[in-house]
Amino acid sequence: MNIEFLKNIVDFGILGLLALMSFLSFWFYLERLLFFRQVNLERYKQKEQLEIDLTKNITTISSFGSNAPYIGLLGTVFGIIITFYSMGQSGNMDIKIIMTSLALALKATAMGLIVAIPAMMFYNHLARKIEVIVAKWDMMHENPKI
């Protein structure tokens, strides 16, 4: 296996995927916030339909938040494999090169956490907003106007 190919997988594949997940998480979060602002509870006769509309894209945000650290860890593992493979091939045991390579390998884990933490905050914020909207719908239907 070509070492440059693995480096490109980590740099462009793993980090690119994490960047895409970050962008989509933020986009879906904003989309949901805008949707929640214009929800008309009177339009919904069935609670289930309201819940279906409210929870659109919510599981995607949660999936990104829960899987980003694993994808970052995969990138770190690839980075460490590349470091050890390079050390074995070159026979060069320069501590500066080893430490630099290992530090760069950890960038994928850091990026995974940078994606996961906000995504889970977005998810939790939206989940609470959904609970409030559904509770308002319940109150509206418990005391119908006579």
> In Å, what is the CA distance from 52 to each residue of 38, 48, 83, 120, 136?
16, 6, 48, 20, 16
pLDDT tens, 98-119?
A: 888 888 889 999 999 999 999 9
Give burial (CB, 10 Å; 0-12/13-18/19+) of 134. middle
Cβ atoms of residues 106 and 79 within 8 Å: yes
More confident: 52 or 8: 52
- Per-residue pLDDT band for 146 (boundaries 50, 70, 90) equals very low
| CA 70 to chain CA centroid, nearest Å | 11
The pLDDT, as a whole number, for residue 37 is 95
* 4 pLDDT more than 80: no
More confident: 57 or 5: 57
For the chain, report the end-to-end CA distance as a whole number of angstroms: 75
The sign of the torsion formed by the CA atoms of 96, 97, 102, 106 equals positive
The pLDDT, as a whole number, for residue 12 is 85
Residue 29's nearest CA partner among 145, 124, 138, 103 is: 124
Spans of all domains in the chain = 3-142
pLDDT tens, 24-45?
A: 999 999 999 999 999 999 999 9
pLDDT tens, 47-65?
A: 999 999 999 999 999 999 9
More confident: 114 or 83: 114
The pLDDT, as a whole number, for residue 1 is 58
More confident: 123 or 93: 123
